[in-house]
Structure 1
Amino acid sequence: MTIERMDSNQRMSKIVKHNGTIYLCGQTAADDDNWDITEQTQRCLDKIDALLEQAGSDRNKILSTTIYIRDMKDFAAMNAVWDAWVADGEKPARACVEARMARPHILVEFSVVAAE
C-alpha cells in the first residue's frame, strides 16, 4: 500500500494520494488582507484546480468538500462563486461550517477529497 505525499514541508503535504484518492486540506487564498470573500473563494478554487491537476485529477472528480467560513454573513457570496465553479451533475458531498481561522484575514478555507 503506497502513500504519495507531494509538496511536503516540515508541517504538512499539499497533496496526499492513497489508493486512488487525493486529499487536499487547508486551502486558503494567498496572504492578502484586502480581499473580500468573493476574491478569496475564487483564489482558493483556482488553487484547488491547480493542485488537482498536479495530482492527476480535476474538479469533476471531487468526492467531498468541507468549507470553513469565518463568518456566515459571507455564506451567500461564497456560494455564488462555488456554484459558478462546480459543474451541473458533478456536485460533491459538501459541508460548510463557521470556524475561527489561523490568521485574522483568512475568510474561507477548503478541504477536498477527490478521485484520481
Structure 2
Amino acid sequence: MSKILRTNANPILSAAVEYHGFVFTQGVVARNLDLDMEGQTKDVLEQIDALLEQHGTDNTRLLQAQIWLKDINDRETLNKLWSAWLPEGGAPARACVQGILADPRMLVEIMLITTK
C-alpha cells in the first residue's frame, strides 16, 4: 500500500497531503487579515511557495488551482500577482470564483494540486 504523507495535520485538515507524487494543498489564506487584497495575495503565494518546497516541488509543477475571492472585482489584482508568480507557460487548470469565506476579513483563498 502506498504511503500518504500528511503535513501539519489537525483534527479537521492537513496543510498538505502527498500521495503517489501528487501534493494537494489546503485552502491557503493570509496570516494577516488586516492586509488589502494585494497584501493578502502576496502572503498566500509566499505560504504556498514554502509549503510546496517542504514537499520537494514548486510552482513549475502546478496542475490545478482553485481560487476563491470575497469580491470577484478583485480578480484583476489577483491576476496581476498570480501571472507574475507563475513561471512562463506554466499556468495550471484554474477556477476563480466569488465566495463567502470563513472570516469576512479574508479576501482570497487558494488551493492547489501539484506534482513532484
TM-score range, shorter chain: over 0.9
Name stretches of at least 5 consecutive residues in structure 2 with no aligned partner.
none
Mark the runs of 5 or more structure 1 residues left unpaired by the alignment.
none
* 1:111 maps to amino acid: M
Q: Distance in 2 between matches of 1:26 and 1:87?
A: 21
Aligned to 1:8: 9
Q: What is the percent sequence identity of the aligned residues?
A: 37
TM-score computed with the length of structure 2 as normaliser = 0.95
Output one character per residue of 1:15-35: Cα deviation in whole Å (capped at 9) or x when no partner. Answer: 1001110000210001432x1
- Shift >3 Å, 4+ stretches: none
User: What TM-score results when the alignment is normalised by the length of structure 1?
Assistant: 0.95
Is 1:56 aligned to 2:56, yes or no?
Answer: yes
Q: CA offsets per residue over residues 50-103 of structure 1, 9 Å max, x none?
A: 000001100100111010001011110111110110011111111101100000
Q: Whose strand proportion is higher, 1 or 2?
A: 1
